[in-house]
Structure 1
Amino acid sequence: MIATLDSVMILDQAEDLGLSIKDSEVAHEYNEARRALQKDRDAQRLIKHFSEMKDLYDEVQRFGRYHPDYMSITVKVREAKRDMDLHETVSEFKKAERNLEDLLVEVCTLLAGEVSPSIKVPSGNPFFDNQSCGGGCGSGGSCGCG
């Protein structure tokens, strides 16, 4: 690619946008929540326990309902996930992570919309997916895009 003045200016503006997002309150809240999660020994213990239970669950899933421990492992993994998700530090981190993701998806959606309204930005968020065409284009479904 030959660097033109336009492409250099776009890259500079993209870098400025990235730095603005990095310096935003949402990003600071995310980083604080991540640090708090890393320091919280109880939260780390719950995450480790859930990860171990998930590994057991994945092993049991190979055989499905025919595995003798299927029901007990299924119940235990759900309990571990619930315990992990209800821990205050984990829930605060997930909330901050979701807020940052929402900001990034919104920025991507705005940028894509400025280029062309037919650009799809997969977000995993029905609010943003419905703003374009419903998000069904890539899956072979009939989404009604024109």
Structure 2
Amino acid sequence: MTMTDISLVHEAQDLSDQIIQSEVFLTYIEAKKEIQNNSRIQKELQYFQTLKEKYEEVQRFGKYHPDFRTITSEVREYKRYLDTDPLVAEFKAAEKNLHELLSEISLLLAGQVSPNIKVPTGNPFFDAQQSSCSGGCGSGGSCGCG
């Protein structure tokens, strides 16, 4: 290892420490603990997991499975029910905020190395900012992707 490598490791550790101490991360951890320590939510998540397993089984046969509509509808309704629970909604919002922070950091780091590095953020806003493609490589025109 060179001194440059050691310096990079120390800077990466400093950055991770700053992330861990950030309000966004602390909010996420607190929301996660609330979900994990809430017995009602845990039971509801276990039930939802059971529903998802049934859904996956039904999906193997598609609309020809006798319970296709029933299970599909039940999964959608229960997911909607869970998503509207205040604790789950708070956790999902905190998770989204942390994901956005990490995506922004990834984009900044990649941009410092090279503007041609593509960082999959899962966010169309960020993905559009870093892409020089219009319509994708398979759009038929000349591709400007690097």
Post-superposition shift, 1:50? 1.1
Distance, in Å, in 1 between the alignment partners of 2:72 and 2:132 is 33
Q: How does 1:1-146 map to 2 (within 5 A)?
A: 3-133=1-131, 141-142=138-139, 144-146=144-146
Number of residues paired by the alignment?
143
Q: How has the CA–CA distance of structure 1 residues 16 and 47 changed in structure 2, closer, same or farther, with 3 Å as cutoff?
A: same
Which segments of 5 or more consecutive residues in structure 1 lack a partner in the other structure?
none
Structure 1 residue ranges, 4+ long, deviating more than 6 angstroms after superposition: 134-137
SS of 2:145's equivalent in the other structure is: coil
Distance, in Å, in 2 between the alignment partners of 1:124 and 1:73 is 28
Distance, in Å, in 1 between the alignment partners of 2:3 and 2:38 is 48
Q: Deviations over 1:35-78 (max 9, x none)?
A: 01111222212211111101000001111011000000111111
The alignment's TM-score, normalised by the length of structure 1, stands at: 0.91
Distance, in Å, in 2 between the alignment partners of 1:31 and 1:134 is 36
Q: Deviations over 1:87-140 (max 9, x none)?
A: 110110010001001000000000000100000000110111011106889x85
Q: How has the CA–CA distance of structure 1 residues 62 and 136 changed in structure 2, closer, same or farther, with 3 Å as cutoff?
A: farther
SS of 2:138's equivalent in the other structure is: coil
Post-superposition shift, 1:141? 3.4
The alignment's TM-score, normalised by the length of structure 2, stands at: 0.91
Q: Which is worse superposed, 121-130 or 38-47? A: 38-47
Q: Which amino acid aligns with 1:141?
A: G
Q: Percent identity?
A: 48
SS of 1:144's equivalent in the other structure is: coil
